[in-house]
Amino acid sequence: MLLINQFFLLTNEVDIIENSLLEEYGQEIFDLLLTDHSVTQYKNDGQTHHIFWATHDYEHLGEGYSFYDEIKAERITGEHSDVIMPRVMKKKAVQNKRVKKMAEVFTPSWVCNIMVNNIDEKFFGRRDAFNRETGEERRTWETVREKIAIPEGKTWEEYIKLRWMEITCGEAPFMTSRYDTTTGRRIKLEDRIGFLDRKLRIVNENTDNLKDWMDAAVTAYQTSKAYEWQGDNLLLARESLLYTFIDNYEFKFGERPDREHVKEIAFIISWNVWQMDGLKGVIPNSCHDVETRNLYGEVERTPCPGCKTKNIHKHNGIPVLLKVFSSGNTYPYHLLYNKNE
């Protein structure tokens, strides 16, 4: 009982402790949150490849922490369990460095709320479907406590099937707001404002049994996507999304989800929240020069065609694959863009 109570507390903390995640749900689920399916399929070498650090911030820790090193469980658990932490818990100097090098600026929850309300207005015909913006510059909100009213002619199932994608997501505050990424303030489940938070609230209010709830929750996760450049942020986002599932399951059923249910959601997250250079549609820094030999046998190098022309369809880096869960098929991210643009 003590272990369970400690676990309940840890799921509500701002910083998810990797040791607790590994202990409670095991290596398989932990490794899913580290998996990069695009790189794994591209290399096709019989190994499961992980997301990589894509930052120099951890190189002082030694082997396994360099820019291009894949993030391994043993590097962030055990005595290394405090290596990865949310931006708000990082030292100020590290925060400033990431702002300068990667333009890493996180969005306050109140801004996320206003923006998500703006988009929800199109579906609901009103911007206060989930909450009413209050205070100076609408920096606070009052949550609607009654069951969310679905507009006439629409269904709650249509809402959870809406496709959302958070670009350059950082710790994914537009998807789920377990905490304010700029202040570290914890946000109660009922007051969360992310677009996945809202979908899961709709699921909680409109299902009566575990099967229906799980089916709807799976749909909500399958239609919610995000990408991020830096590996540490990406893992934090994935962890937060997994614990958002756990939080809602506990709220609905009064107990923790079993390992199989958690594994199903972790698998979806591992596909739907991916590592990518958003301008190129490929794994960060994977584009390369093309080598050819001229008539004299000399090696000549030409830049990646996509980098040279800024055409997202011509990059020669490792393509990011998106998964269609209904069919099991995958397709390259760049196909989302019109080739004539």
In a domain, residue 308? The reply is: yes
pLDDT at residue number 171: 92
Residue 3 has pLDDT above 50, yes or no: no
DSSP letter (8 states) at residue 105: -
Residue 99 has pLDDT above 80, yes or no: no
DSSP letter (8 states) at residue 50: B
Compute CA distances 79 → 76, 82, 90, 236, 314, whole Å: 8, 8, 18, 18, 43
Range of the domain at 74: 1-17+51-271
- Tokens representing residue 217 in the block: 């929750």
pLDDT band of 258, cuts 50, 70, 90:
very high
Tell me: do 237 and 302 sit in the same domain: no
pLDDT band of 98, cuts 50, 70, 90:
low
- Tokens representing residue 30 in the block: 């932990």
Tell me: do 253 and 309 sit in the same domain: no
Tell me: do 89 and 198 sit in the same domain: yes
Tell me: do 245 and 313 sit in the same domain: no
In a domain, residue 177? The reply is: yes
Tell me: do 212 and 324 sit in the same domain: no
Per-residue pLDDT averaged across 144-162, rounded? Answer: 98
Identify the weakest region by mean pLDDT among 47-61, 87-101, 168-182.
Answer: 87-101
Residue at which a domain ends, from 271, 303, 322: 271
DSSP letter (8 states) at residue 70: B
Q: How far, in Å, CA of 96 to CA of 177, rounded?
A: 23
Residue 26 has pLDDT above 80, yes or no: yes
- Tokens representing residue 94 in the block: 């590290």
Per-residue pLDDT averaged across 182-191, rounded? Answer: 92
Compute CA distances 35 → 29, 107, 288, whole Å: 10, 26, 23
- Tokens representing residue 98 in the block: 């990431």
pTM given for the model: 0.90
Residue 11 has pLDDT above 70, yes or no: no
In a domain, residue 43? The reply is: no
pLDDT at residue number 18: 85
pLDDT band of 322, cuts 50, 70, 90:
very high
Tell me: do 148 and 92 sit in the same domain: yes
Tell me: do 170 and 308 sit in the same domain: no
In a domain, residue 139? The reply is: yes
Tell me: do 208 and 124 sit in the same domain: yes
pLDDT at residue number 84: 87
pLDDT at residue number 104: 55
In a domain, residue 117? The reply is: yes
In a domain, residue 62? The reply is: yes
Q: Residue 12's closest CA among 262, 256, 244, 214?
A: 244
In a domain, residue 64? The reply is: yes
Residue type, 162: L
DSSP letter (8 states) at residue 108: P
Per-residue pLDDT averaged across 252-259, rounded? Answer: 97
Residue type, 120: D
Tell me: do 160 and 301 sit in the same domain: no
Residue at which a domain ends, from 271, 302, 320: 271
Residue 277 has pLDDT above 80, yes or no: yes
Compute CA distances 232 → 201, 238, 278, whole Å: 28, 10, 17
pLDDT band of 94, cuts 50, 70, 90:
low
pLDDT band of 240, cuts 50, 70, 90:
very high
**In a 3-state reduction of DSSP, which class is residue 239?**
helix
pLDDT per residue over 56-93, tens digit each? 999 999 999 999 999 999 999 999 988 988 756 555 55
- Structurally, how many domains does the chain consist of? 2
In a domain, residue 277? The reply is: no
Residue at which a domain ends, from 222, 238, 271: 271
Tell me: do 260 and 323 sit in the same domain: no
Tell me: do 258 and 295 sit in the same domain: no
Tell me: do 242 and 326 sit in the same domain: no
pLDDT at residue number 8: 38
